Structure 1
Amino acid sequence: MNRRDWIARGLTASACAALPASGAMAFSDGKPDVVMRFAKALSERDIDAFAALFSSNYVNHQFSAASPPSAGGTAKELTVRLFRARIDGMADLKVVVDKALTEGDSCAANFTYEGTHTGLYMGVPPTGRRLRFSSCDIFRISNGLIVEHWGMGDIAGLMAQLKG
């Protein structure tokens, strides 16, 4: 069993797939609406639709090489900037939701990102290489917007692909 299957099975076994009573997270193809809109906005390179997914008081609990803490803006602004760089770095970026689960006002999803490295990304000039990497993210949703995020992306794998 590979790592991704093991994680997905563990999440499935421990998470409740019921919608909250408020109906704030409608499902599309069995996946939370906000998760599907997240992937769609990025795949369509629609940074405005992507930004509209986040509450103005959004809190990002993920701090990594990809999203270090910074005094250069709000958490929402920094997240939008990070993903704008991803879109700019991969002109044909496609984002797929592999698995998504909900519990109460939260949802967890595993995303796969794939695209050709055609622009400056993570400080690396374009290589023309095909990139493929994943992230696992947890979102807390309020009034249809992402208000909190916890996540982990395969930054080491991404950097290895970028640097060949």
Structure 2
Amino acid sequence: MERRTFIAGAAFAAALPIAAKADPVDDARALAERFASTLTAHDMDAFAALFGDDYSNHQVSAAAPPPPATVSPKQGSVGFFKARLAGMPDLKVTIEAVVASADKVAASFVYEGTHSGTYLGVPPTGRKLRFTSCDIFRIKDGKLVEHWGMGDIAGQLAQLKG
């Protein structure tokens, strides 16, 4: 009887680490959700903490030019979103769709807010803005370390100009 109890106990104990392991795909999805929720909460410290120090941004656009050599890509991206929050202090970010693997996550983000501060060089208009971006992130050690994306800059400018 003791032998059966020992074997059953050993089998249960061996299964515990497997059951307790996190699913990397769920972790990737959660990282995209935290990207949206930290921006919605305007918690820039938590937002910055999502990015690895070795973060690389492959997106280059008129709205998000590469930062100067004295500013890291991580600092440049955080600064870009700080400016977005200054332009739309009531910004809310949601996710329309998300696809994830163990080391990548892609999401379609929706940004909604009132243009109450200068944004993209345009003084406040009081207009409600709604625009999207599609972003792909590579993940390493639970951090966003690489980014490719496309944002609807033309749509943003059209809304800003009325």
TM-score by length of 1: 0.82
Is there any run of 5+ residues in structure 1 with no aligned partner, and where? 1-20
Identical amino acids, percent of aligned pairs: 55
Displaced runs of 4 or more, over 4 A: none
Distance of 1:152 and 1:66 partners within structure 2: 11
Distance of 2:62 and 2:45 partners within structure 1: 24
Quote the offset at 1:91 in angstroms.
1.2
Quote the offset at 1:25 in angstroms.
4.5
Distance of 1:132 and 1:115 partners within structure 2: 7
Deviations 1:44-91 (A, max 9, x none): 111111100000010000000121123241100000000000111111
Distance of 1:32 and 1:125 partners within structure 2: 35
The AA in structure 2 aligned to 1:65 is A
Higher-Rg member (1/2): 2
Picking from 141, 144, 147, the partner of 2:145 is 147
Q: Which structure's residues are more often helix, by fraction?
A: 2
Distance of 1:25 and 1:115 partners within structure 2: 30
8 Å CA contact 1:133, 1:157 repeated in 2? yes
Query: How many aligned residue pairs are there?
Result: 141
Does residue 119 of structure 1 match 2:117? yes
Q: Secondary structure at the match of 1:122?
A: coil
Is there any run of 5+ residues in structure 2 with no aligned partner, and where? 1-20
Distance of 1:47 and 1:70 partners within structure 2: 18
TM-score by length of 2: 0.83
Match of 2:57 in 1: 60
8 Å CA contact 2:91, 2:112 repeated in 1? yes
